[in-house]
A = this chain, B = another copy of it.
Amino acid sequence: MSDKKISSAVIKRLPRYYRYLGELLENDVVRISSKELSERMHVTASQIRQDLNNFGGFGQQGYGYNVEHLHKEIEKILGLEKTYNVIIVGVGNLGQALANYIDFERKGFVIIGLFDVNPRLVGMTVRGIEVKDIDEMEAFVRENTVDIAVLTLPKAKAPKVATDIVSYGVKGIWNFAPIDLQLRDADATVENVHLSESLMTLSYRLSNTDME
């Protein structure tokens, strides 16, 4: 890998390339031109070439891209050849939905712990994993290697829990609370998912159809 900084816009597009290449693989497509790929993905061919050139290119003049090779390379770039140990903090409906989503495990995100404050949820089992009281979380994180903590918590609780978890050594936070978590630890990284905001862009488009 090169040591230059890749823009976050490029990084956000990589999983999409990965998904489309995965679909091509499923359909036994061996190679694809940047033009064909661009038509499927509704982006320009030059955008695709430019994005992939950040990582060394992978295409061959007159041949296009070898689908399996490119899929594999993007997998490596995204860090998906590794396995990540994941805990979910907050095991309400959303936490359970994420715990039950087996596709994450297929991609290497393995759930090893579930935590909640609600006594009605503690002791319950989701896919063979028992929900533990959040008081047991610190010991669990210190005893196990936890790479990612998924937070499906109320807005008011998320910042403190995130700070705590990072102080126990977790480097990745996947945050579903409706707040932009800012971590002080420079080694840790947070990805905020704002479902309400996605819904609001939909209501914008429904209310402004004449402007599209």
Residues of chain A at the chain B interface (Cβ within 8 Å): 1, 3-6, 11-12, 14-16, 18-19, 42, 77-80, 82, 84, 92-94, 96-98, 100-101, 103-104, 107-109, 147-148, 171-172, 174, 178, 180, 182, 187, 189, 191, 193-212
Contacts and interface: CB of A to CB of B under 8 A. Distances in A.
Contact of A201 (B11, B42, B93): B11
26 contacts: A1-B208, A3-B210, A5-B212, A11-B201, A11-B204, A14-B200, A15-B197, A15-B200, A19-B194, A77-B204, A77-B208, A78-B204, A79-B204, A80-B200, A82-B203, A93-B94, A93-B97, A109-B203, A148-B206, A172-B203, A172-B205, A189-B202, A191-B198, A191-B202, A191-B205, A193-B195
B189 A193 contact: no
Nearest to A109: B199
A156 to B, nearest CB: 11
B207 A79 contact: yes
Nearest to A209: B187
Most buried by B among A189, A200, A211: A200
A174 B199 contact: yes
Contacts of A191: 198-199, 201-202, 205
Contact of A148 (B98, B109, B202, B208): B202
Contacts of A147: 206
A207 to B, nearest CB: 3
A19 B204 contact: no
A15 to B, nearest CB: 4
Contact of A97 (B4, B97, B196): B97
B84 A203 contact: yes
A79 B208 contact: yes
A195 B11 CA distance: 15
A44 to B, nearest CB: 15
A148 to B, nearest CB: 7
